[in-house]
Amino acid sequence: RKEVEQDPGPFNVPEGATVAFNCTYSNSASQSFFWYRQDCRKEPKLLMSVYSSGNEDGRFTAQLNRASQYISLLIRDSKLSDSATYLCVVNFGNEKLTFGTGTRLTIIP
C-alpha cells in the first residue's frame, strides 16, 4: 500500500461546479498535512495546511479525519484558473514530506 494515496483523475469539471478530492495515508502517527497545487511545468506551491478542526480559505475547504486516515479538499464555485494538479502531502514525523501522486483537475468553460 502506498504511504499517501490519491485518485490520479483526471477530473473534468464544468466552471462553477463544486469538486472534492480525497487522500488516504498509511501511518496513524502522521504529524502534519498539506495540499499543494502544481501547474504544468511549474513547481508545487502550498495551497493549504490541514488542521485537525478543518479549515477554510475562500472557496477552498480542507478536512482531516484521523480516525479514518484521510484528508479532503473541497473547491466551491470552481474557476478556470483552478485547473492544476493537486498534491496531497503528509509528514510522518521526520524531516521530509511524503507526496501523493497528485490529482489532475481540469475546469471546463
Partner 1 sequence: ETGVTQTPRHLVMGMTNKKSLKCEQHLGHNAMYWYKQSAKKPLELMFVYSLEERVENNSVPSRFSPECPNSSHLFLHLHTLQPEDSALYLCASSQEWGGVNYGYTFGSGTRLTVV
List interacting residues with partner 1 (CB under 8 A): 31-32, 34, 41-46, 49, 87, 89, 91, 93-97, 99-102
CB of 17 to partner 1, least distance (A): 25
CB of 85 to partner 1, least distance (A): 10
CA within 13 Å, CB half, 27:
16
Closer residue to partner 1 in complex, CB, 74/97: 97
Closer residue to partner 1 in complex, CB, 34/63: 34
- Where do we find the cell 485537525? 52
Give the span between the Cα atoms of 55 and 32, in whole angstroms: 14
Give the span between the Cα atoms of 85 and 78, in whole angstroms: 14
CB of 91 to partner 1, least distance (A): 4
Closer residue to partner 1 in complex, CB, 96/109: 96
Tell me which residue of 85, 88, 107 sits closest to 22, measured CA to CA: 88
Closer residue to partner 1 in complex, CB, 43/53: 43
CB of 77 to partner 1, least distance (A): 26
> Which residues are registered as beta bridge partners of 61?
56, 74
Cell of 22: 480525497
